[in-house]
Amino acid sequence: MRLDKFLADHNIGTRKQIKEYIKNGRCKVNGIVASKPDVHIDENKDEISFDGKELTYSKFHYYMLNKPVGVVSSTTDKKASTVIELLKEENVRGLSPCGRLDIDTEGLLLLTDDGELIHRLLSPKKHVDKTYEVHIRSKLSEKDKALLEEGVDIGDKNDDGSIKLTLPSKVSIYSDGDENGNPIILLTIHEGRFHQVKRMLEAVGNEVLFLKRLSMGPLQLDDSLTPGEYRELNEEEMNALNIK
């Protein structure tokens, strides 16, 4: 790979700017000041630094974010802050959220520039598990719990006009009450329909007061991340997602 492309991939600047930076001796290759922008490097073995900071090469990037309430799960928005803005210090172009969480929902969100992984996790055919901590208005009866697990009508239709029930889910009682006395359940679903969790609880005459995603597939939210904090995926998580 050419040195200037490597630096451009790290959002160091435009090709023209990078040429000037190299001319001014701001980049080193294996500890030696680089003299030409078109010099070829081995991005996997050579040590590249810019202004004294070492740069590592990754074809794709993977970040776990504990999405806070009030931030939208998109790359741009004219009215609200976006999850991409929370990672603006990373200088990584092309990041996208893997799926969406509503603006009033917090919890696990994967951000990556790996389009194949996004497709694999979001494909309706894959039925990837997603588990949520759900604070609800009133205690869930055994009948309502059974209905949620069997599948409920949330207003969607099949192509032939028939009712499209939600896929079978898993419901467990997490706590009898939060600080406000509202019951908490854990709900695992295998789809990603619009406002699905909220609509499922509405279908059994209940109401979601607070929603937090805890897991997506094998990826579990890191308890040490407070809302708004993020980190790169570790090796164990990468292996669990079958990332080479």
Other CB atoms within 10 A of residue 172 CB = 10
Going by C-alpha positions, the residue among 185, 149, 151, 192 that lies closest to residue 170 is: 149
Other CB atoms within 10 A of residue 204 CB = 16
With residues binned 3-state (H G I as helix, E B as strand, rest as coil), the percentages for the chain, rounded to 5, are 20, 30, 50
What is the three-class DSSP state of 12? coil
Whether the CB-CB separation of 92 and 112 falls below 8 Å is answered with: no
Measured between its terminal Cα atoms, the distance across the chain in Å is 20
Whether the CB-CB separation of 102 and 68 falls below 8 Å is answered with: no
Tell me the Ramachandran region of residue 160: left when phi exceeds 0, alpha when psi lies from -120 to 50, beta otherwise: alpha
Catalytic residue status for 223: no
Helices 196-203, 142-150: crossing angle, 10 deg rounding: 130
Selecting among 9, 38, 46, 102, the annotated active-site residue is 102
Spell out the residues 6+ positions from residue 53 whose beta carbon is closer than 8 angstroms to its own. Answer: none
Going by C-alpha positions, the residue among 56, 36, 32 that lies closest to residue 44 is: 56
The DSSP bridge partners found for residue 96 are: 112
Q: Mind telling me the catalytic residues?
A: 102
